[in-house]
Structure 1
């Protein structure tokens, strides 16, 4: 499959999004994460790595730390990236985590994350005490990127029924040409420096 071909669309998917046309756009580089119910990041493509590299280099993290919720609550970089929207975004992630935890009450990895965050994050303790759950209330986010500046994005959160232990998150930029140009320049700069291009990790899917 070439990068110009749309990915095959899985059958039996549930979207958490209000944007029906966002599954694939030729003009928008795909920023795709695959997340297990624990919020562990198990795959990120080069565009996702570029978008978050200055804030969360998941490929360089030890596997137990490669977790989206853990990063969101414990990393100062998360607050810098999300700015004033950090608290709402973090609250929503905790709510989604609680929803998944309720569906997988005997999952050892979930219990490990709960123990870690209960000890280390006052925000997690306070938010969890409210017993709120979330199924992705906010489809849009605005991020403050060191290269791109402030840019809006639309999220799609997709559950594949044939693989219910995985979720697919796509982040679609409001200005695809701008981020495509920045990604291209970053790739050229890294290639010229001999450090390669932005890396995906966790396999070659999409």
Structure 2
């Protein structure tokens, strides 16, 4: 799917999600074929011509100013993450050539930091959610059934996206799998808008759409989400149920690499479970 069609799809989904009543538009209900805003209604509220908005939605205009995008975002009630995604799509070339990027390499400073965090689970993730590195406790918490050295070789690096949707053991690990998986889909869509030329990212999305009905359905919904903090409740095969919170630390010189750090949830039993897990995996 090209940038122009992705932009149009996103705008149509957002337009369908806003009703005239929410914007205090008084319009007759009879003969109305759409539940959301019509193009002319959105254009009028945003202060742009219907013809220009139509060209934008059809992908025939790629030079929208920040003022125009801000006006559209205001009418559609987009949050900050959705506004960022709109800008990413609007500024991509209409016929971006997808290429195979070089294999991602973890920054040595990040690897050193990861190794020093031996008391908490932590992972270094690339732009496509491939594991570039992890510490022993991060490996034990989220993917203990895989070889510890798997991230060392780009050919065998675990994909957290594939594990979440296609690996039964990872799915069973998540007590609230649907919520976390929906969040993951929203984040992948945000990344796809930012890196539309990444052939491997497009291949990953295509594979998940073909193999996972849930992924395909949620991807079609068009939601985008940032994923920088949150909590996960796990049914861990070694230590039982535990709640963990996570925070993502971005690398200033490599913004598409994320250090994901986990800490125990508020229940003291979670800290005890992580301690037990750490003891069981000591080399």
- Fold similarity call, TM over 0.5: yes
Tell me the CA shift for residue 27 of structure 1: 10
User: Which of the pair is proportionally richer in strand?
Assistant: 1
Report whether the alignment pairs 1:141 with 2:232. Answer: yes
> Which runs of no fewer than 5 residues in structure 1 stay unpaired?
1-7, 10-25, 188-196, 198-206
Aligned length: 166
2:90 aligned partner: none
1:82 aligned partner: 174
1:163 aligned partner: 254
Give the Cα–Cα distance (whole angstroms) in 2 for the partners of residues 97 and 147 of structure 1: 30
Give deviations 1:152-182, integer Å, cap 9, x for gaps: 1111012222111201111112343442243
Tell me the CA shift for residue 41 of structure 1: 1.1
- 8 Å contact kept, 1:33–1:43: yes
**TM-score of the two chains, using structure 2 as the length reference:** 0.52
Structure 1 stretches of 4+ with a deviation exceeding 2 A read: 52-65, 174-178
2:196 aligned partner: 105
**TM-score of the two chains, using structure 1 as the length reference:** 0.70
Tell me the CA shift for residue 149 of structure 1: 1.0
Give the Cα–Cα distance (whole angstroms) in 1 for the partners of residues 134 and 118 of structure 2: 16
Report whether the alignment pairs 1:63 with 2:155. Answer: yes
RMSD: 2.9
Give the Cα–Cα distance (whole angstroms) in 1 for the partners of residues 229 and 247 of structure 2: 10
Partner of residue 35 from structure 1, selected from 125, 138, 147: 125
Report whether the alignment pairs 1:115 with 2:115. Answer: no
- 8 Å contact kept, 1:27–1:176: no
Structure scoring higher RCO (CA < 8 A, sep ≥ 6) equals 1
User: Which of the pair is proportionally richer in helix?
Assistant: 2
